[in-house]
Amino acid sequence: MALTLASILAGLGLFFVGKDLLTSNLRNMVGRSVQLILSRVAAYPLLGLSWGAVLGAMIQSTAIVTFILVGLLTARMIEPRRALPILMGGNIGSALILLLVTLDIRIVVMLALGLTGILLTQGRLQHWKAALSAIFGLCLLYYGLVLLKSGTVPLAQSDDVMALMATLNGSLSAAFLIGAALSAACQSSITVALLGIGFLGSGLFSFEQAMLVIYGTNLGSGIVTYLLAGGVQGTARRMALFQLGFNLTGCVLLLALFVAEHVFGVPLVMALLRAVSSDVPQQLALSYLVFNSVTALFLFPLIGLVEQLLARRCPPSPQESDSQLAYLSPETARDSATAILLTEKEQLRLLERLPRYAELLRQAETPARKARLEALHKAFVSVHGQTKPYIAGLAEGDLTADSHERVYRIVDRHDRLGSIEAVLYEFAAAAPLLEDSTALAAIREALTEGLDALLLSYVEAMAGDDPDDMALIERITGDRGELMEGVRRSFFNDAALELDRDEKMGLLQLTGLFERLVWLLREMALKAPFEAGTRPALEAA
């Protein structure tokens, strides 16, 4: 028994470590080329279904497929309706791993495991590390499932397990609920499906019971996916809700077919499985594939209706629109002249968000204020990051002499925008340090009001075409080093104030950040301004 439990525990360990290696490295490998391919094939639902199946078969994880789709949705590279066929295909492809475990390919897996393990230690192959680690993780995942499968048979033959299973008295509904509960508990439908196959081999389960365990695992995994996405809102949440609906629909369909075959003797799924393979474990593995395939084929013609229901249940959140690109997309970026204009429009959109930080500074420090600050920061970082690939595409494209200089300024401006927002975020996060200080209340208010006025004037000047406004910005963003040093010195030398350590540190931090922010704003105004006449062009774009 000790060896049996050790085999099962080792199998689970290898499975989860392999799954983590596979997931983390494939996420790093999913580049813009893969995203562009999916965004293009998504225009054709049948092609999207096929590519989703290929992707699911390659990575063996609907979680990664969902992760990729959420990224595409966030970047507006794909419509929610177009993402659903890809996720359906991902469910079909990821079901193949169970079938592979029933095949004896251990020699191939061990060779791949050894070879990738050796190559991972070679420093000269660091640029292949993510791909090799993903293959190594897939091999560990497979070998873990093989160990788990080998341990379930002796476990099922133990007296305690046999006594427990005897209480089920051949109950089909209990087998379905066991599959759902165990899948939800261990967050893996594959491992529980293997348990059902092992119990069938030991005689504890009938074929019908083992089949219902596999059906139940899909329900449990769907529920877990939905619960884990509890913190996700808006369009991205539709993917989790669709995955739950996909599995619920599959349960209803396949259970109805099961009843028709088991009770009324109509030859359906079980007859098909027996006709395809004479090997019982392979039949059960194929039932897992049939579950996902039948469900996908049933829902495929209903994509439009399903998307309407999901849109009503999960409408786009305000934070979601702030986190998405408003103008750039793969279609609009095909023409370089249009892409340049729209990229500058995205940058202006980011610039116009900066005064919101000053508005937050006027609010008392509460959890709600902190949440709004985090949402503002995450939305800025999201749009800033999504714009980068388009800017890289501009820099790598064919440019004229005039557009080359303009693109250079776009690249420079984008980096400076990121630096300015980072300092603003740090300033807004540190401002509460002086909120309870009576002695420093005046300087905190002065910094807040000064920052607000500076940002409003700055945005207006940068977004406009008035040379006088830009001249004003150059004056008000002059060197503030001596002024800030004078402020710090006056407070530190005033014996009547008696500032404590936290007040001194807060004063140093805020005045230093203010000084750096003014310098960054001046540098961007001088070195990366928008083109004269840009604003009217952007308004017309």
Nearest CA among 316, 315, 424 for reference residue 380: 424
What pLDDT is attached to residue 176? Answer: 92
pTM here is 0.68
What's the rounded mean pLDDT across residues 137-159?
A: 75
Phi, psi of 338 (to 5 degrees): -65, -40
For residue range 330-350, what is the model confidence (pLDDT) as tens digits?
A: 777 777 888 888 899 899 999
* 137-140: long-range contacts, CB 8 A cutoff, minimum separation 24: 137/17, 137/18, 137/19, 137/20, 137/21, 137/22, 137/23, 137/25, 138/18, 138/22, 138/60, 139/18, 139/109, 139/110, 139/112, 139/113, 140/14, 140/15, 140/17, 140/18, 140/21, 140/113
For the chain, domain boundaries: 1-313, 320-527
What pLDDT is attached to residue 65? Answer: 77
| Mean of pLDDT over the chain | 80
Q: Which position has the higher pLDDT, 337 or 412?
A: 412
Nearest CA among 225, 176, 294 for reference residue 64: 225
pLDDT confidence tier of residue 294, bands split at 50, 70 and 90: very high
Q: Which CATH class is domain 320-527?
A: mainly alpha
Classify residue 314 by its DSSP letter: S
What's the rounded mean pLDDT across residues 264-292?
A: 91
Nearest CA among 196, 145, 198, 149 for reference residue 174: 196
Q: 93-102, 375-384, 493-502: which has the minimum mean pLDDT?
A: 493-502
What's the rounded mean pLDDT across residues 259-281?
A: 91
